[in-house]
Chain A
Amino acid sequence: MMGHAGFVLASYGAAIIVLAALIGWILIDQRIQRQALQELESRGIRRRSETKMDNPS
């Protein structure tokens, strides 16, 4: 009953790897969206709500 350390290690390892991948994916996604927002803002594009605030037509 003591020879099961491999299974314990494998399950902890799998959990860490998969969770790290999930966190990494979320962080990468975060960076992509932030960059896209910054790029659009640097082009002087704003959302409709904000442009409406400027010139209520």
Chain B
Amino acid sequence: MSDAISKTGRWIDLANPTRFLSFAGAVLPWLGGLTLLVLAVGFWMSINVPDDYQQGSTVQIMFIHVPFAWLSMMCYTIMSIAALGTLVWRHPLADVSAKAAAPIGAVFTALALITGSLWGKPMWGTWWVWDARLTSVFVLFLMYLGIIALTRAMDDPAKSAKTTSILTLVGFINIPIIKFSVDWWNTLHQPASVLRMGGSTLDPSYLRPLLVMAIGFTLLFFTLHMMAMRNEIWRRRVVAMRRVAARNAERGPAKQQEVR
């Protein structure tokens, strides 16, 4: 009886990634297509905005910089939720999700830093300043790299899942720091203008393309995340199957000996 229960328990665990794979297979083409469409529209909208009287054409950098910065934080938040999922509910997909998200988040954070740097040079006259916002985003980037290094350093996924989750959750304190750094400290970086109390300060002609781009890049993130998760599930299957292969090979010759 207990055997049957443990077996069904295992079946549910296995069914989840399997179900995820078929779900991803069905959804991914549509998601990818939608991403392309929204990004194309957003791109077309953002190159057709008038120049800002203060910032000139560099205002166009905003249309990619802000989504990247937003995604760098969203990705970390998703990873933190996944870390909770690993630690509290031990959901097998949570660890896969966190592990797949880390490199993507690192790339978006790097892009936020790069585009911000390219925006800062003409506006502030310098590529980089060590103010609260920029520094905290740089720290976020380092944390992404640290998490990637940690997941790669341990080859046993079950063990690395827990330690990585704890590290991820500890690092989450950085997210509110990034978000509110522009309000808490006096920084060069401009304060939030899109999401704030009392409505956006941004002119609608800039706000609309920005929102479309933000949606487009968010869709891109989910597409890539789903693809990376699928890869990770496959990778784990390959590992499991290889272990089975090693065991099977052992059984092979021994049986032949018995026959002889």
Contact = CB atoms under 8 A, between A and B. Distances in A.
A/B: CB atoms within 8 Å of each other: yes
Interface of A: 1-2, 4-5, 7-8, 10-12, 14-15, 18-19, 22-23, 25-27, 29-30, 33-34, 36-37, 40, 43, 45-49, 51
Contact of B245 (A11, A19, A40): A40
Interface in B93-151: 103-104, 107, 110-111, 114-115, 118-119, 121-122
Contact of B238 (A25, A30, A36, A48): A36
B242 A15 contact: no
3 tightest A-B contacts by CB?
A1-B56, A33-B234, A11-B118
Nearest to B100: A26
Range for the number of chain B residues in contact with chain A: 35 or more
Interface string B52-93: 000111101100110010000000000000000000000000
Contacts of A29: 228, 231, 235
A7 B124 CA distance: 13
A45 B240 CA distance: 10
B224 interface: yes
